[in-house]
Amino acid sequence: MTDSSLLRVRWIAGNTFVEALRQRFFAFLFLLAAGLAASGMLLRTFNFGQSELKFIADFGFGAMFLFGSILAIVMTVQLFFSELDNRTALTLLAKPVRRWEFVLGKFLGIWTLLGVFIALLGVVLAVMLSIRMPELVESASRNGEPLPFLNLKGLGMFCLLQWFRLGVVAALSLMICSFAQTFLYAVIVSAMGILLCQVQSAGVSAFSKPDQETWVRTLANGVGKVIPDLQLFDLGVPLVLSPAGAPQSAVLSALGYGALYMPVLLFITVFLFSDREI
């Protein structure tokens, strides 16, 4: 990548990030996700012990992925089609801006926004868990129960994993935008694609059993290698609430998985977008 290409990618990414940050949809989703995560604190009146800490954490983990995926899909599709509908993409690409620079800039801007979203939710979740943790420790000590465990560094690592996870979601949505003709079609297909990625591992396991036909097992394994498995990033409980932590190999594998799939999906996006009429 030349210096001029890098400057153009950075300019497109910066404009995309600022435009996305100004959208009310971002603020609405963040407030909604933070409110859902904070609602787990309502359980403090019941004092469920260590299971309460897991319940609060699960609320936060679920909010990160659910609302993060909605943000990744809707914002990616909206910003992509707004460039096409307003004819700004035609103006940009008429200048010395290559299509791969346009695609990469759009992705980096959206991925940066998703990083801000995850970081903010991570702070909210860390504050809630830190507030509740001393009360649960005191209660457990008083009742002779096992002390709960909380690893805030593990929470930071989990947030990093979710950032990569949502990066795959955004790259997949951008790939669908490269050939979709309407906003609604791109959103629906992207949502279905993310749902398929979520159940990928369960489907592959079900169709890879020894009692299945050979061609069925082969097809299932092939599909499993093509469709991203987003379940690999679900390491929140061992990272945050388990003294043993998550295996380092699992964390590195998930990060490498995301780092591999994002450029592959972007390469396919550039290939499809290169032949699209604007």
**What is the tens place of the pLDDT at every residue in 224-234?**
778 888 989 99
Q: pLDDT, tens digit, for every residue of 13-40?
A: 998 898 888 888 888 888 888 877 777 6
123-134 pLDDT tens trace: 989 988 888 888
Average pLDDT, the chain: 85
Mean pLDDT of 107-122: 94
Give the integer Cα–Cα distance in Å for 192 and 202.
16
pLDDT score at 40: 64
Indicate whether 47 pLDDT > 60. no
Other Cβ atoms within 10 Å of 115 Cβ, number:
18
**Does pLDDT of 212 surpass 80?**
no
Per-residue pLDDT band for 244 (boundaries 50, 70, 90) equals confident
Mean predicted confidence (pLDDT) in 255-270: 94
- Among residues 61, 67, 57, 71, which one has the least CA distance to residue 33? 67
- All structural domains of the chain with their residue ranges: 3-273
Query: How far is the C-alpha of 123 from the C-alpha of 155, rounded, in Å?
Result: 9
Q: Which of 82-91, 112-121, 229-238 has the highest mean pLDDT?
A: 112-121
The two tokens of residue 69 are 């995926």
Burial class (CB in 10 A: 0-12, 13-18, 19+), 267: middle
The predicted pLDDT at position 54 comes to 81
Site of tokens 């929140």: 236
Exposure on the CB side of residue 260, measured as CA atoms within 13 A: 11
Task: Sort 23 into a burial class: Cβ within 10 Å, 0-12 / 13-18 / 19+.
Answer: middle
Q: What is the pLDDT of residue 56?
A: 82
Report residue 53 as tokens.
């800490």
Q: What is the mean pLDDT of residues 136-144?
A: 75
Lowest mean pLDDT, pick from 108-117, 188-197, 199-208 = 199-208
* pTM recorded for the entire structure: 0.90
